[in-house]
Amino acid sequence: MYQQLYPNLFKPLKIKGLTLKNRIMSAPNMLFQTIAGRPTDYYIRYLEHKARGGAGIVTLGEIPVCDGGRHTPGMDFTRENMNLFAEMSAAIREHGAVSSVELTHGGRNARPEFNKASPMGPDEALTPYGKVSAMTRRDMEAVADAFADAAAFWIGCGFDTVLIHAAHGWLFPQFLSPLSNHRTDEFGGSLENRMRFPLMVLRRIRERVGPDRVVQIRLSGSERDPKGFTVEDIIEFLSRAQEYVDMAEISSENIVWFFGTTYRPWGLNTDLSEAIKKSGRVSIPIFVIGSILDPAQAEDIIASGKADGVSMSRALIADPYLPEKALAGRSDEITPCLRCLNCTDSDNLHRHLVCSVNPLIGREARLGFAEDMKKARHSRRVLVVGGGPAGLQAAITASDRGHEVILCEKESALGGLLRFADSDSLKLDLRRYKNYLASMVSKKNIRVMLNTPVCDALLNELKPDHIIVATGATPITPSIEGIERALHVTDIYFKPESVKGNEIVIIGGGLAGVEAGMHLANLGKKVTVLEMTDTPASDSGPVYRIGMLWMAERLGLRIIAGARADRVTGRGVVYIKDGRETELPASSVFYAAGMKSNDAPFFELHGKAGHVDMAGDCKSVGKVAGAVHSGYFAALDIGKF
């Protein structure tokens, strides 16, 4: 008899007339691929990818309900667009998933560039986006009608359910929060009053869509602030709101909680969903979101009664097929999420969505789906030089395409610079991903040769048709007096004995320097990072940087911005800030001044096979995303002719 590894995770759930085939919700998230208020093919295929992967619910994210409330470009609710919106729902439903659409209003955080009307919220306020006016009763009635109209419109387009966004700093929590709601009328003050407007909106939606339609709510279970609303407040709110909604997805306020970086624990918000479940006052199904990355973790959350289901966002960007792989007993083949927030930050920078570990996601309209990738027209003997992330991904992709693959690595282990994660006390997600790559190589028909530099004799023996050079990068040594007394930050991981004493100075406050400092601070060292610009970790994305610096502060890491290291002495480091010299004592000094491509092997190997390509840092120095994507596409193009 078939034995399901995750019986609770894959147990169906019936909510009114809808049946979820499992307890996995593909959470609403970024992409925002619209042109003139219409979704692009990229957007539709992106949603379809999630449905094909096996999630029980797939949610189209962040659809503003009206002018004045847009924090994204939004979509136009017109009859002419209904066929495209219906196609979005069909792309989900055709693969057995429930189709959902998230409805939002940004309140005082609405973006002026997306609106004609001025922003409004519970109070008059001045935000980075401009002046905000306090909502009148007429404004509230109009917004309630807008939510109700939007819910009816999207259900009319074929969506099974709507999800009301009442979290993450948008309009609903602005009213619920005593930190942002200072009204003195019946919509402010007590919790009873602060709940009044959100409940009005939910009641209006229910009246419009009728009693049989499923309505969901995404709700922050706490503000994570001693002066903000608490989980007890949300239990009270949900005990009232469940008259109008049929399921709640529990998140949290505060960006470092709803965009958890790799430094945070898994399952960030399960304490909130568990409190709601155990209150005995809420009878509707409760799902929870927040760094839920693994099917075994999700199974435990449901089995232990902390939630009725789980909502996954970035885990299903990294691998939309997580549900199907878990169902098939192939969890070891699930591509792990790094929690690097590259997906979020790439979209915030107005680029196409980029996942560090999934080159196809968001590009399905151009490239197709992973399982549709056909074998190469002609099989080739492929030599991959270098066993870092670019080389590993290139080897995996080339093998999947039907090529004979040989991977040569000059060191005694695979992983390249990612092997630093074996020693890093905080980058556990990256360590998991590095191990995943090595494991996938071991499962493929790939010949791995460790401790093997590539030379002419080896080339004569192997006779490759195609060579992919992925030899990484080497450190740049800064021109600072006495720098010979310092070591590169990679020695912190690969030569831990080089860390002498407890007072550590790191020259260079980019991402590598700050993260190395955090690791040492986590081990109890007193660490100071010197950064010559005014922005620490400027090479990281904006949302990731917020979470990283939040954690750095809690670890006690000292970062001095605008400080130029002048010289390394026998006692420490002399730096200059605001024209003044200061000597910083140090028992160990390290530097992180960037990397340069190790491209010499490419030029040495050029012309020694029919095709010689580059991938990873040896082509262009970057982070994991650049390595994985370049390795993938270098292998994808082999054997076309």
Q: For residue range 180-228, what is the model confidence (pLDDT) as tens digits?
A: 999 999 999 999 999 999 999 999 999 999 999 999 999 999 999 999 9
Same domain, 264 and 389: no
Structural domain includes residue 437: yes
Query: In the predicted model, what is the mean pLDDT of residues 530-552?
Result: 96
The pLDDT, as a whole number, for residue 187 is 98
Joined tokens for residue 137:
């009763």
Asked whether residue 3 is assigned to any structural domain, the reply reads: no
User: Which pair of tokens denotes residue 339?
Assistant: 């929690």
- Domain assignment of residue 44, yes or no: yes
Average pLDDT, stretch 445-463? 97
CATH at residue 399: 3.40.50.720
**Quick check: is 102 in a domain?**
yes
> Domain with 565 in it: what CATH number?
3.50.50.60
* CATH number for the domain harbouring residue 126: 3.20.20.70
Boundary-marking domain end, from 320, 352, 367: 367
Query: How many other CB atoms sit within 10 Å of the CB of residue 152?
Result: 17
pLDDT confidence of residue 404: 97
552 plus 602 within the same structural domain: no
pLDDT digits (tens, 9 = 90+) for 121-132: 999 988 888 899
SS3 of 87, please?
Answer: helix
Of residues 348 and 478, more confidently modeled:
478
Contact status, residue 154 vs residue 103, Cβ threshold 8 Å: yes
pLDDT of residue 348: 56
CB 407 within 8 A of CB 464: no
Domain extent for 623: 373-474+596-636
The tokens for 411 are 């060191």
On whether the CB atoms of residues 130 and 91 are closer than 8 A, the answer is no
How far is the C-alpha of 61 from the C-alpha of 530, rounded, in Å? 40
Domain-terminating residue out of 306, 338, 367: 367
Compute the average pLDDT of residues 333-355: 84
Q: Residue 257: count other Cβ atoms within 10 Å of its Cβ.
A: 22
Report pLDDT digits (tens) over 465-520.
999 999 999 999 999 999 999 999 999 999 999 999 999 999 999 999 999 999 99
- Say if 1 falls within a structural domain: no
Task: Tell me how far apart the alpha carbons of residues 550 and 569 are, in angstroms, rounded to a whole number.
Answer: 31
> What mean pLDDT do residues 431-445 have?
97
Tokens of 22: 């499992």
Query: Does 2 map to a domain?
Result: no
91 domain residue, yes or no: yes
DSSP 160-178: SEEEEEE-TTSHHHHHH-T
Q: Mean pLDDT, to the nearest integer, of 143-160?
A: 98
Parallel/antiparallel/unpaired status of strands 526-531 and 503-507? parallel
**For residue 506, what pLDDT is reported?**
98
pLDDT band at 155 (very low <50, low <70, confident <90, very high): very high
What pLDDT shows up at residue 129? 84
Together in a domain, 505 and 462: no
**Long-range Cβ contacts of 534-538 (<8 Å, 24+ apart):** 534/561, 534/562, 535/561, 536/509, 536/510, 536/561, 537/509, 537/510, 537/511, 538/510
Nearest partner of 182 among 129, 236, 121, judged by Cα? 121
One domain, residues 348 and 451: no
**Residues 555, 612: one domain?**
no
Q: Is residue 641 part of a domain?
A: no
Q: Is the pLDDT of residue 350 over 60?
A: no
CB 511 within 8 A of CB 595: no
- H or E element, residue 316: helix 314-318
Q: Please report the pLDDT score of residue 351 as a whole number.
A: 62
| 444 & 513 share domain | no
Question: Which pLDDT tens digit goes with each residue over 22-44?
Answer: 999 999 987 778 888 899 899 99
Question: How many structural domains is the chain composed of?
Answer: 3
Q: Are residues 218 and 337 in the same domain?
A: yes
Tokens of 90: 């069909």
345 and 491 share one domain:
no
pLDDT confidence bin for 639, thresholds 50/70/90: confident
Q: What is d(CA 344, CA 354) in angstroms, rounded to the nearest whole number?
A: 8
When pLDDT is averaged across residues 342-367 and rounded to a whole number, the result is 83
Express as a percent the part of the chain with pLDDT over 70: 98
Mapped onto helix, strand or coil, the DSSP state of residue 431 is helix
Considering the domain architecture, whether residues 237 and 263 belong to the same structural domain is answered as yes
pLDDT band at 287; cut points 50, 70, 90 = very high
Q: Which of 367, 386, 412 is the last residue of a domain?
A: 367
Same domain, 466 and 497: no
pLDDT of 347 over the 90 cut? no
Query: Is 27 in the same domain as 76?
Result: yes
CA contacts within 13 A on the Cβ side of 38: 11
Given strand 120-121, what is the order of strands in its sheet? 120-121, 130-134, 125-127
Residues 300 and 225 in one domain: yes
